[in-house]
Amino acid sequence: MYKKLVVVMSILLFISCNEVPTNTINVEDIQQLNSAIEGAKPGDEIVLANGIWKDVQIKFIGKGTKEQPIILRAETAGKVFIEGISNLEFGGEYLEVSGLYFRNGHTPTKNVIAFRISPDQVANNCRVTNCVILDFNQLQRDNDDLWVQFFGKHNQLDHCYIAGKTNGGPTVRVDLKGNQSIRNYHQIVNNHFGPRPRKGGARGETIQLGSSFTSMSPSNTVIANNLFEECNGEVEVISSKTNFNEIKNNVFYMSEGSVVTRHGNYCVIDGNYFIGDGKNENIGGIRIINTGHSIVNNYFYNLIGENFRSPLAVMNGIPKSPLNRYNQVTDIIVAYNTYVNCKSPWQFGVGTNIAQKDVLPLSEIRSARPLRSVVANNVIYNKVGDTEPIIEHDKADGVLFKSNIINNQGVAFKDEERITPSSFELTQVADYIFLPIGISNEIEPYNGYGFEAISEDLFGNSRANSNSIGATIQTEAKDPSILDKKKYGASWYSNEKPAYEAVTFEVTNATDLTAKLTEARAGDIISLSEGQFVVSKSLVINKSITIQSSSNKKAEIVFEGANNTPLFELNPYGILTFKNVVLSGNGTQQAFASLKENMSNHFGLFVSGCEISNFNYVLKAYKQTFAEEISFTNSAISNCENGIELSEETNDKGDYNVEYLTIDNCRFINVKSNIVDYYRGGYDESTIGGNLLVSNSTFENCGAKEVTNILLNTRGIVNVAIENNVFKNNRVKLVALLWGAKNNSHSNNKVQNSGKILVEENLKMKLMY
Amino acid sequence: MYKKLVVVMSILLFISCNEVPTNTINVEDIQQLNSAIEGAKPGDEIVLANGIWKDVQIKFIGKGTKEQPIILRAETAGKVFIEGISNLEFGGEYLEVSGLYFRNGHTPTKNVIAFRISPDQVANNCRVTNCVILDFNQLQRDNDDLWVQFFGKHNQLDHCYIAGKTNGGPTVRVDLKGNQSIRNYHQIVNNHFGPRPRKGGARGETIQLGSSFTSMSPSNTVIANNLFEECNGEVEVISSKTNFNEIKNNVFYMSEGSVVTRHGNYCVIDGNYFIGDGKNENIGGIRIINTGHSIVNNYFYNLIGENFRSPLAVMNGIPKSPLNRYNQVTDIIVAYNTYVNCKSPWQFGVGTNIAQKDVLPLSEIRSARPLRSVVANNVIYNKVGDTEPIIEHDKADGVLFKSNIINNQGVAFKDEERITPSSFELTQVADYIFLPIGISNEIEPYNGYGFEAISEDLFGNSRANSNSIGATIQTEAKDPSILDKKKYGASWYSNEKPAYEAVTFEVTNATDLTAKLTEARAGDIISLSEGQFVVSKSLVINKSITIQSSSNKKAEIVFEGANNTPLFELNPYGILTFKNVVLSGNGTQQAFASLKENMSNHFGLFVSGCEISNFNYVLKAYKQTFAEEISFTNSAISNCENGIELSEETNDKGDYNVEYLTIDNCRFINVKSNIVDYYRGGYDESTIGGNLLVSNSTFENCGAKEVTNILLNTRGIVNVAIENNVFKNNRVKLVALLWGAKNNSHSNNKVQNSGKILVEENLKMKLMY
């Protein structure tokens, strides 16, 4: 009898202790939400009604418990839209937000989601899950903000989809200023970081962990199981700037940047996938600065980046570096990684700039080579042999190489002491995933100091009993489904758009052109009939659209709009493909121009087969505007005052107005100022930017009024190629002034009566930091 | 029956698992020792025979286990003397050394005891216990070495007595270069660090944890329960240069230096005693640089140091400091400390040198004030009120002050917002230990971020239930016996010498003088009878000795030794007190001189009531020699070529030849070069050195041949006072060139026909780092 009683009592006790009474509070507007938050107790669930919540600044302050958090969620996940001037801040303990969709707006503060209310009121053990932040950009690029900013400790961002940031500032940042935020163990897990467009300058990281000013602090932040898809904001996808962070089991897919241990030490980069396309040199791998990092169990596929963007870039440091510059690399471990079809995957002494010592202060000279570091137990496979699997920009004499092998298809290379040639083969286990087979007995794994921590392989198999070199031990491997997007981000959101069949609008007059431009959807085509279109007001381009002549005979647009207005006004998202049309103005207007301000998203321009004449500017891009690509091909430009104007980013902070500018097979006649004015200012090797190709074109009688006396002005642009052009009778001193130390080149140009092409090895630039 | 069987079996099993068979191997010489080591197995005990082991380099290589270490010990602890050119190196696991006495020698390498054989063969879990290292100095001061150097992990130095290091290099250093030596958790516990004499320059720390080059690495070294007695080597007693070190429950007794967080971050300095004498300004406390340190539960008594040596010195940093310079202080906690009779115990902005910006590069300017730091729950008691308990060399505006109280005896001070006046009293619980009583309800302890880690008080009482401000909670306190030397160091060694009654030797002729000098013991007195002593060979001074005239009529020593030899040859340990004697030479010799080399220990010289004439040098100190004190008082010096020559330390690394030089009530006539030539070179604020007092003296007809044209040449000496002197008819341009920015002063001097005394505010010095 007693026994039974005890059992019953135990059960009762168990229930009473584990029961989590939930109190649901439905709210329909910010006032109701505020009072619900004010009264919330552990276990409460505040439910936001579906619909658009405009201009709401939510301060989620409360104190839940581990067992009974306070929850703030969408009535239906994904159906609560946070729009307008809105944001969300946390203060307290055990608070959780889910199901919100931030879009069509921006934050009034410096962050969309912040894990604090004030320095004295931070969040601990709080969570954002199953939310989306999309294109929630400030109107101006230089208005920096952060979309998620961590403070406090033990906070979590998981299962969110975050994409489309164009303005300055990392998408996510962990802040460590103050003892309230160190040893934070924040979790950034299972998210889908969707495309972040190229920003055109610095401050475009997807995740930044601390800053140089807190680089001495232990952060212990975990970034795991996320998908980074086309995170192209800048040269760093993840910038780890504090200590003891873990970057684990993430997929970096076609992302133009690297995981960089920019500051701080003892970062673990373990079991990640870096997937490239074998063509795009901007897709990076892992770049190492500082001390004590472990780069283990990673898989690199089809990466062809060089230098800063190489699969493994080990930098030179500045001796006794200032706090915010480049410390020497010491005590790093690069072990058990697999490289498949990567070009020169290991690069050492990256960033050495001893040659620039005449234009840089001593405190900028990276001459300190890596010390006490080990590269061991790695496997390299090249479908096509690589004569330089290791590139030493400066000597790697402080690095110990042990038990590395390569299948180089028998092609000779000079580092056989460091990497042993082998003839193992690969087996494909999934798209992009090829694993070495038959290397079990090939070579004994090296066991260095600190290697005991590498207990598992890429897939989580134990290395204890059947260890082998490379990212995976030699066992049956299953498809890791790294690109199964259901594993990442918000459950209710997918960035995979159904295929759209473009509609073609046939247009016969200017009124119709304007109307159809409004009516058309992104991707549609507007086809101009033969004849003249007299346009009297700017045409707004605010989506991807193609405008072209419908027949072989080019349509002709005559612009009669006001002075200093553009024929095509390029708005945010406005990407114009313009083909086979004749354009003319009255000499005072712009053929193409961005908005002067509020360019909250990028524009783009592709002009081909056109004839453009009598404009003040062919293209005018204003400050804080950005295009990923602009091209002029097979076109003739004549009798304009100015050419292609992309020179307003004079803050010398590394910004510029276009990533890729291409001029091919064009003819410029009588453009009175310079043809191209393309500027990027500020010296720091990590801001790698601007690309100009000018090829197969003719330039005649241009530059007569150009005050700089340079026809193609590219000051500060890192990648410039001028090839196979003819320059004739242009009244300038220089066709171009190129930056020899960077990737600037010229070849096979004919220059007659047009000054010359000058190469200056080292340009003196303003230091950015 | 079965039950009994199980019990018996269990007991048997227990015994068999815990039995540690010991195999004792007695060795009598290094060959036997080497073979014993070579064959040693876990549990073996190698016993060194009592006696002197000369010129032995012991490489203790082996692999013991936690349960069965390999032990190497003295037959009788303290009776095995390691002498000559000898050292000890460890390589392996679980090795233990005990009972050895290192004396009368020095190491042939860079360390006396090293926890490694080579970078690839370090020691882990090894121990040195119950040993002594005494005066085991290199022959030359600039031959730097370390007496105990840690590598590897989990090694321990405990219950050792270590004292007397005079040459360059910290006494103990933990080395972190390489992953084999990080997160080392070494234990330096229960040792007695006996007197380390002033070194006369940098590199005289007692313990150094890492270096700036490894300042990013986690060390986790523990320094606990040690006694530091008169550790006067330099301005830093402990220099913590890595992360996460703990300095706990140590006693710093009359030590001229501070515990300094020189590099690295998150050091815990908890429950230490800092005991001064209320007179010596060189006895320091805790000096803070960098981030995240906790200074809690410490007790400070009778400290009157200023600036770098103040009880709490919080430094200004260099903005974005180079790796080896001064980082800004951020996120530190100074809480629950008690200060009794300390002068201006809290000093902020220490090291600010904005005023020196004309003579220093920008990368040396300490202008970055502390940020995000908290000073809370501290108690200050002043027997005599202090008008400035806080000194702000630069503003402490980044520091939060909370719940601090002071009994200032009603004396007004300006910081009552930061420290609340109170009238609590003290109770004495032991020598030097006075604790506040009756403050339980005075003020609520502030509870800041990170304060939860402060769970106990100075005595280990829990703060959980009866917390109060100050180092100790308000409970019955027992005598902590902090100066009971039996608690520290080797069990068989005491540095407390029995009182010695000096013997006086009466001497009547030169032969006897030489003989008695040899015969006398340290502390003895040699008394010269009236009359002349003609000495033809240098008299060797190699111990503390007094030579004086026995009657009021001064004895007269006439030196007829060879040219360029000294009458008194000051050897290592030679400290001469010389009173009331008339000395003369032939104009080519030295009255006093150190050895030219091999001055493995310091000398000293106290001259009073003497008449010295016709020497080449009055005193000649050679390079790499050092005296803690030199004084000339009530004496007359005439007709010499050179005066007091202490100027050979021209390496500009901060070294100098004497700590305190005093000239009082003397008369210098016809000294042809300068009277004093005293040099210290190299700029770094942390090398604070050299003291010259020249007072109440007369200088006449001197300096005629002096090439520098300065009579008292003190270049680089930090503390200089020239007071109440008469300078007459000296053929020099300057009596002295003083350094205004340092502690150089002159007052009340009469200068007639002798040039002038010039003060230059900022001397341009060579940077040391």
Q: In the numeric block, which tokens belong to residue B715?
A: 């270049």
Q: Which residues, other chains included, contact B505 with Cβ-Cβ below 8 Å and sequence gap of 6+? A: B516, B519, B520, B524, B525, B526, B527
Q: Which of A216, A364, A447 to mutate to test the interface with B (most CBs of B within 10 A)?
A: A216
pLDDT of residue A294 exceeding 90? yes
With CB atoms and an 8 Å threshold, state whether B216 touches A179: no
Contacts of B292 in chain A (CB under 8 A): 179, 182, 216-217
Min Cα–Cα distance to chain A from B767, Å: 15
Which residues from chain B sit within 8 angstroms of residue A330, using beta carbons? 177, 213
Q: What pLDDT was estimated at residue A2?
A: 52
Q: Is the dihedral of CA B333, B338, B343, B344 positive or negative?
A: positive
In this complex, how many residue pairs, one in chain A and one in chain B, have their CB atoms less than 8 Å apart? 79
Structure tokens at A2: 């007693």
* Torsions phi, psi for B671 (to 5 deg): -95, 120
SS3 A619: strand
The 3-state DSSP class for residue A7 equals: helix
- Band the pLDDT of A761: cuts 50, 70, 90: confident
Answer yes or no: do B290 and A217 touch at CB < 8 A: no
Which residue among B177, B178, B323 places its CB closest to the CB of A321? B323
- ipTM for the complex? 0.92
Q: What is the nearest CA distance from B328 to chain A, expressed in angstroms?
A: 9
Among partner residues B243, B321, B372, which is closest to A178 by beta-carbon distance? B372
Closest Cβ opposite residue A327 in set B243, B265, B323: B323
Query: What residues of A are in contact with residue B330 (Cβ under 8 Å)?
Result: 177, 213
Q: What angle do CA B122, B128, B134 make, to 5 degrees?
A: 115
Kindly report the nearest CA distance between residue A326 and chain B, in angstroms.
Answer: 10
In whole angstroms, give the CA distance from residue B222 to residue B153: 12
- Determine the Cα–Cα distance for residues A658 and A198; give it in Å rounded to an integer: 9
Residue B333, min C-alpha distance to chain A (Å): 9
Residues ≥6 apart with Cβ < 8 Å to A19: none
Residue A324 to chain B, least CA–CA distance (Å):
6
List residues bridging with B53 in a β-sheet: B82
Q: Does B2 touch chain A (CB under 8 A)?
A: no
Contacts of B448 in chain A (CB under 8 A): 179
Question: HSE (CB half, 13 Å, CA atoms) of A446?
Answer: 21
Q: What is the DSSP letter of B328?
A: P
pLDDT for B768 equals 72
Q: How many alpha carbons lie under 13 Å from residue A758 in its C-beta half-sphere?
A: 14
d(CA B439, CA B470): 9
From A265's Cα to the closest Cα of chain B, the distance in A is: 7
* B57 contact A CB<8A: no
Interface test with A, best of B151, B323, B371 (most A CBs within 10 A): B323
For A371, name the nearest residue in chain B, comparing CA atoms only. B178
Closest chain A residue by Cα to residue B331: A178
* Backbone dihedral angles phi then psi of residue B292, each to the nearest 5 degrees: 80, 15
Residue A131, both tokens: 């939310």
- Per CB-CB distance under 8 Å, the chain B contacts of A325 are 320
Residue B371 to chain A, least CA–CA distance (Å): 9
**Nearest-5° angle of CA A617, CA A623, CA A627?**
75
Q: Search chain A and give the residue with CA nearest B320.
A: A323
The verdict on A322 touching B (C-beta cutoff 8 Å) is yes
A495-516: per-residue pLDDT in tens? 999 999 999 999 999 999 999 9
Contact B178 A322 (CB under 8 A): no
* Per-position b or e across B5-38, b if 16+ CB within 10 A of its CB: eeeeeeeeeeeeeeeeeeeebebeebeebbebbe
Nearest by CB to residue A177, choosing from B243, B266, B372, is B372
Chosen from B120, B216, B333 to mutate, greatest number of chain A CBs within 10 A: B216
Q: Collapsing DSSP states into helix, strand and coil, what is residue B510? A: helix
A272 pLDDT higher than 90: yes
- Terminal Cα-to-Cα distance of chain B (whole angstroms): 79
What percent of chain A stands above pLDDT 90? 91
B447 has a chain A CB within 8 A of its CB: no
Strand B51-54 with B70-74, pairing: unpaired
Helix (H) / strand (E) element for A631: namely strand A627-633
Cβ within 8 Å, pair A217-B292: yes
Query: CB-based contact (8 Å) between B10 and chain A?
Result: no
Model confidence at A104: pLDDT above 80: yes
Point out the residue among B178, B320, B331 whose CB comes nearest to the CB of A331: B178
pLDDT along chain B (769 residues), means of 10: 51 48 91 98 98 98 98 98 98 98 98 96 98 98 97 98 98 97 98 97 96 97 98 97 98 98 98 98 98 98 97 98 96 98 98 88 93 98 97 98 97 94 95 91 90 96 94 92 97 95 97 97 97 97 98 96 98 98 98 97 98 98 97 98 96 93 98 95 79 98 95 95 98 95 94 95 78
Cβ-Cβ contacts under 8 Å for B114 (sequence gap 6 or more): B87, B88, B89, B90, B146, B148, B149, B151
* Contacts with B290 from chain A: Cβ below 8 Å: 216
d(CA B630, CA A580) in angstroms, rounded, equals 97
Contact, A554 vs A547, CB < 8 A?
no
Amino acid sitting at position B387:
T
Cα A266 to Cα B176: distance, rounded to the nearest angstrom: 14
Distance of alpha carbon A514 from alpha carbon A534, whole angstroms: 11
Nearest to A216 among B290, B320, B324 (CB): B290
Please state which of the ranges A359-368, A395-404, B506-515 shows the lowest mean pLDDT. A359-368
Distance from first CA to last CA of chain A, Å, rounded?
79
Give the closest of A177, A178, A291 to B216, CB-based: A291
Q: Answer whether residue A7 shows pLDDT above 60.
A: no
DSSP state of B601: S
Q: Which residue of A has its CA nearest to B120?
A: A449
B743 in contact with A at a CB cutoff of 8 Å? no
Residue B398 touches chain A, beta carbons under 8 Å: no
Handedness of CA B17, B18, B24, B25 (dihedral sign): positive
CB contact under 8 A, B449 and A180: yes
Instruction: Kindly report whether the global pTM for this prediction surpasses the value 0.80.
Output: yes
pLDDT band at A355, cuts 50/70/90? confident
Q: Chain A within 8 Å of B63 (Cβ-Cβ)?
A: no
Q: Return the H-helix or E-strand segment holding A547.
A: strand A544-549
Contact flag B321-A321 (C-beta cutoff 8 Å): no
Q: A284 or B443, which is more confident? A: A284
Whether the per-residue pLDDT at A251 is higher than 70: the answer is yes
Q: Is B372 on the interface with A (CB under 8 A)?
A: yes
CB-CB under 8 Å, B449 with A178: yes
Q: Which of these, A106, A111, A62, A114, lies nearest to A85 by C-alpha position? A: A106
Instruction: Write out pLDDT tens, residues A534-551.
Output: 999 999 999 999 999 999
Q: Which residues contact B539 (CB under 8 A, 6 or more apart)?
A: B513, B514, B517, B567, B568, B569
Of A179, A321, A330, the CB nearest to B322: A321
Q: Which residues in A lie closer than 8 A to residue B370 (C-beta atoms)? A: none
Mutate to test the interface with A, among B179, B220, B240 (most CBs of A within 10 A): B179
Min Cα–Cα distance to chain B from A288, Å: 15
Residue of B nearest to A264 (CA): B216
CA distance, residue A181 to nearest chain B CA (Å): 9
Q: How far is B39 from chain A (nearest CA, A)?
A: 26
Q: Rounded to whole angstroms, how far apart are CA atoms A606 and A635?
A: 11
Q: What is the pLDDT of residue A15?
A: 47
Phi, psi (deg, nearest 5) at residue A572: -55, 140
- Do B324 and A320 make contact, defined as CB atoms within 8 angstroms? yes
Whether chain B has a CB inside 8 Å of the CB on A682: the answer is no
**Residues on chain A touching B375 (C-beta within 8 angstroms):** none
